[in-house]
Amino acid sequence: MSSSLPSRPSRWLVQVCRHRSCDRGGSAAVLATFREHQGPTILIAESDCMGQCSAGPTVKIMPGNTWYCRVTAEDVPRIVEQHLGQGEWVRDRLHPRFHPPDPSD
């Protein structure tokens, strides 16, 4: 699995699920923390259920179609700096359904 995202876009879209299961897991705090970093190059959006309820709070980032699972507010600064800033995945929060671990890593 490559550690780099395919592109460094002019604008990121971060979707944070606020539906029931993710909300119970703390997605309001995740969304609020992401919104502290919103700006011309980072758009933060609240989402309805993304179908990954058992692994929430769920965060999806476009472009690149990256899915993060079990995200906490404490993870957000790392995702902002590493993913949105440097174009590198935060591997320990990647959703394994969409980003299966590479045995060669």
Asked whether position 95 contacts ligand FES by CB under 6 A, the answer is: no
What is the spatial distance between Cα 65 and Cα 13, in angstroms, rounded to a whole number? 10
Are 13 and 45 in contact, with CB atoms under 8 Å apart? yes
Asked whether position 58 contacts ligand FES by CB under 6 A, the answer is: yes
Cα angle, residue 44 at apex, residues 89 and 3 outer, rounded to 5°: 10
Least distance in Å: CB of 85 to ligand FES? 25
| 54: its two tokens | 């058992």
Asked whether position 33 contacts ligand FES by CB under 6 A, the answer is: no
Asked whether position 20 contacts ligand FES by CB under 6 A, the answer is: yes
Asked whether position 22 contacts ligand FES by CB under 6 A, the answer is: yes
Asked whether position 29 contacts ligand FES by CB under 6 A, the answer is: no
Candidate list 30, 33, 56, 80; residue touching ligand FES; CB under 6 A: 56
Asked whether position 45 contacts ligand FES by CB under 6 A, the answer is: no
Candidate list 52, 59, 67, 70; residue touching ligand FES; CB under 6 A: 52
Cα angle, residue 32 at apex, residues 2 and 13 outer, rounded to 5°: 40
66-68 and 42-47: which strand pairing? unpaired
